[in-house]
């Protein structure tokens, strides 16, 4: 990978085969640095879905606190039946609770209306495109949330792109300048349809983004991607805050 051409400026696209090889090299180096990450669901599917809605623009600690308090209202039926103000109050530690509360209730209502319960396991029988279509039709569920549920809970070959995945893959030169939403399709097209690989790469990009390739001051001196990163070369080691 050391011989990759350097773009004249960040976000000029390299040929697709080089970008695909770059992502596999990132996967390989992260395996050495952070270790293997087995694809095991971390929580039940509806928990994952609601928690991911709560996680939007919210820290992991506050997302979890909001979820725990939401569940104090009772089972999913009780949460649907509760006044929206009560749901809003219960998730106040999550940012934008006034927007998220009605969306959570509407999502739960839609799942129950279509399937008679709150079990999402029917998603296991759908192909990735069908699963994404069904989930993103729910209120407040975007492609990132839908991809998380499908990959984490049902081992479908999709690739969730959060802020960390987007930032690192943009900086290294795996994708040209584009929004998070568009990056889902662009990155998936470069990666093999291998759910354990996609999961491990996603988790390790998240870890790298939190610990090393941070938004405002990336710690390039400690980065195992330094010699293959476009941003590092273009900015001569002084990588600026990330601009979306």
Task: Check binding of 49 to ligand SF4 (CB under 6 A).
Answer: no
- Residue 36 contacts by C-beta under 8 Å, 6 or more apart in sequence? 200
Query: Would you say 43 and 51 are in contact if contact means Cβ atoms under 8 Å apart?
Result: yes
Query: Would you say 87 and 79 are in contact if contact means Cβ atoms under 8 Å apart?
Result: yes
Task: Check binding of 30 to ligand SF4 (CB under 6 A).
Answer: no
Task: Check binding of 4 to ligand SF4 (CB under 6 A).
Answer: no
If the CB atoms of residues 154 and 232 are measured against ligand SF4, the closer one turns out to be: 232
Two tokens, residue 115? 């399937």
Query: Would you say 73 and 87 are in contact if contact means Cβ atoms under 8 Å apart?
Result: yes
Minimum separation from the CB atom of position 43 to ligand SF4 (A): 29
Minimum separation from the CB atom of position 225 to ligand SF4 (A): 4
Report which secondary-structure segment, H or E, holds 15. none
Two tokens, residue 131? 């699963």
Estimate the crossing angle of helix 143-154 against helix 128-136, to 10 degrees.
130
Q: 188-217 mask for ligand SF4 (x: CB under 6 A)?
A: ------------------------xx----
Minimum separation from the CB atom of position 142 to ligand SF4 (A): 25
DSSP code of 5? P
169 C-beta neighbours (distance < 10 Å), count: 22
Task: Check binding of 171 to ligand SF4 (CB under 6 A).
Answer: yes
Minimum separation from the CB atom of position 162 to ligand SF4 (A): 15
Minimum separation from the CB atom of position 209 to ligand SF4 (A): 8
Choice from 177, 218, 243, 244 touching ligand SF4 (CB under 6 A)? 218
Rg (CA), the chain: 19
If the CB atoms of residues 90 and 169 are measured against ligand SF4, the closer one turns out to be: 169
Q: Applying CB under 6 A, which residues contact ligand SF4?
A: 168, 171-172, 212-213, 218-220, 223, 225-226, 229, 231-232, 239
């Amino acid at each position: 990978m050391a011989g990759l051409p350097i773009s004249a400026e960040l976000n000029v696209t390299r040929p697709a085969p080089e970008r695909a090889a770059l992502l596999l090299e990132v996967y390989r180096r992260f395996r050495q640095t952070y270790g293997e990450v087995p694809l095991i669901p971390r929580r039940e599917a509806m928990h994952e879905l609601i928690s991911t809605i709560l996680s939007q623009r919210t820290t992991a600690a506050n997302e979890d606190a909001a979820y725990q308090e939401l569940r104090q209202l009772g089972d999913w039926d009780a949460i649907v039946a509760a006044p929206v103000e009560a749901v809003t109050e219960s998730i106040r530690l999550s940012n934008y609770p006034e927007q998220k509360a009605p969306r959570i209730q509407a999502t739960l209502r839609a799942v129950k209306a279509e399937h008679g319960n709150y079990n999402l396991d029917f998603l296991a029988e759908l192909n990735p495109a069908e699963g994404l279509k069904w989930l993103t039709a729910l209120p407040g569920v975007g492609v990132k949330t839908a991809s998380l549920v499908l990959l984490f809970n049902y081992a479908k070959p999709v690739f969730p792109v959060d802020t960390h995945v987007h930032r690192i893959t943009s900086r290294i030169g795996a994708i040209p300048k584009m929004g998070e939403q568009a990056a889902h399709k662009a990155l998936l097209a470069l990666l093999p349809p291998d759910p354990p690989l996609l999961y491990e790469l996603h988790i390790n990009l998240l870890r790298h983004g939190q610990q090393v390739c941070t938004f405002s001051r990336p710690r390039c001196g400690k980065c195992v991607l330094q010699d293959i990163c476009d941003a590092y070369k273009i900015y001569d080691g002084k990588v600026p805050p990330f601009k979306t």
